């Protein structure tokens, strides 16, 4: 994100933030296995 922040305009960078959020939450799966849905842990 540092490179983008230094080289992009504010509007374009703001438009890319949802993609950065998806990338941050990405968890790769093992090839050949179906992904499982994991629910977030409940916090007290």
- Say if residue 1's pLDDT is above 80: no
Query: Is residue 16 included in any domain, yes or no?
Result: yes
Q: Which of 43, 3, 40, 36 is nearest to 20 (CA)?
A: 3
H helix intervals, 1-44: 2-7, 10-24
Q: Which of 42, 38, 21 is nearest to 29 (CA)?
A: 38
- Say if residue 28's pLDDT is above 60: yes
Query: Is residue 32 included in any domain, yes or no?
Result: no
Query: How many CA atoms lie within 13 Å of 10's alpha carbon, on the beta-carbon side?
Result: 0
pLDDT, position 6: 75
Q: How many domains, the chain?
A: 1
Query: Is residue 36 included in any domain, yes or no?
Result: no
**Model pTM?**
0.42
Query: Is residue 33 included in any domain, yes or no?
Result: no
Mean pLDDT of the chain: 75
Query: Is the Cβ–Cβ distance between 7 and 13 less than 8 Å?
Result: no
């Amino acid at each position: 994100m540092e490179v983008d922040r230094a080289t992009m305009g504010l509007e374009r960078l703001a438009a890319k933030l949802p993609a950065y959020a998806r990338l941050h939450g990405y968890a790769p799966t093992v090839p050949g296995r179906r992904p499982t849905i994991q629910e977030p842990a409940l916090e007290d």
